[in-house]
Amino acid sequence: MISTNQFKNGNHIEVDGVVFKVVDFQHVKPGKGPAFVRTKLKRSTDGAVIDKTFRAGEKFRAVHNEVRKMQFLYADGTDAHFMDVNNYEQFTIPEATLKDSLQWVRPSEEIELLYIDDSPSDIQLPASVEMEVTETEPGLRGDTASGGGDKPATLESGVQVKVPLFVNVGDRVKVDTRTGDYMSRV
C-alpha cells in the first residue's frame, strides 16, 4: 500500500481499479478543516490526464512496475512492433497508446519499455534526444529584424519542431522530449 504522504512524481497507483501515473501533486493544509492532496493523474491505458483530490493519509495499492530493454522495430500505422533484446521475442502494442512517446524513437533503436503489472505500458524517454534534420527551408541571413526567429523542421523520426534559422538539412539537433523544444545543435 502507498499513502498520499509517499507520493512522488512518476509513481503508479491504482484508483477504483484503474492504474494512474502521478504527474503532479500538492499537499494542502487549509487553516480550517483537514489536510488534503491535490493531484494530476495520467491514466495508463489511454494517456488522459485528470485532476483528483484525496484526503491526506488515504492509501492506495502500489502498482508493480519495471523497465525492460527492448528494440523498437517499426510502426505500421496500427501497431508498434518491439523485440525483447534478451530472448528475441517479438510483440506489438497499439500505436495509439504510444503515439506521444513514439515520435521521439527511430526504427531499430534500443529503448526502455515500462511494464505495469507485467503488461507493456509506455516508453521511458530520455530528457532529450539527438536527431538529424531531414527537411527544412533554407534560412537566409537578414530574414528577421532582430536576427532571431525560427522555422519548422522535420527530424529523422518524422516529428516536426521549430528550429533557429541557421539550422540546415543534415544538421544534428538536440530536442527536449517533454516539450518538443529545440535545445542546441550537436
Tell me: the pLDDT tens digits for 131-179? 999 998 886 666 555 556 788 999 998 899 998 888 889 999 999 988 8
Q: Is the pTM of this model over 0.95?
A: no
Query: Are the beta carbons of 182 and 162 closer than 8 angstroms?
Result: yes
Rounded Cα distance between 127 and 74, Å, is 22
- List the single range of 2-6, 93-97, 142-146, 148-152 with lowest mean pLDDT: 142-146
Rounded Cα distance between 61 and 163, Å, is 44
3-state secondary structure of 180: coil
Rounded Cα distance between 43 and 51, Å, is 11
Mean pLDDT over the full length of the chain: 87
Name the fold adopted by 2-62.
Answer: SH3 type barrels. (2.30.30)
In which residue ranges of the chain is CATH 2.30.30.30 found? Answer: 2-62
Q: What is the DSSP string of 81-126?
A: EEEETTT--EEEEEHHHHHHHHTT--TTEEEEEEEETTEEEEEE--
In which residue ranges of the chain is CATH 2.40.50.140 found? Answer: 65-124, 128-185
Q: Which three cell numbers stand for residue 51?
A: 485532476
Name the fold adopted by 65-124.
Answer: OB fold (Dihydrolipoamide Acetyltransferase, E2P) (2.40.50)
Could you tell me the pLDDT band of residue 93, with boundaries at 50, 70 and 90?
Answer: confident
- Alpha-carbon dihedral 150, 155, 161, 164, rounded to 10 degrees: -20
Strands 49-55 and 90-94: unpaired
Rounded Cα distance between 37 and 14, Å, is 16
Q: How many CB atoms lie within 10 A of CB 43?
A: 14
Rounded Cα distance between 12 and 21, Å, is 4
Q: Nearest CA to 100 among 166, 186, 159?
A: 159
Report the percent of the chain where pLDDT is more than 90: 30
Dmax (CA) of the chain: 62
According to CATH, what is the number of the domain 128-185? 2.40.50.140
Tell me: the pLDDT tens digits for 21-64? 888 999 999 988 899 999 999 888 777 889 999 998 899 988 88
Query: Are the beta carbons of 172 and 178 closer than 8 angstroms?
Result: no
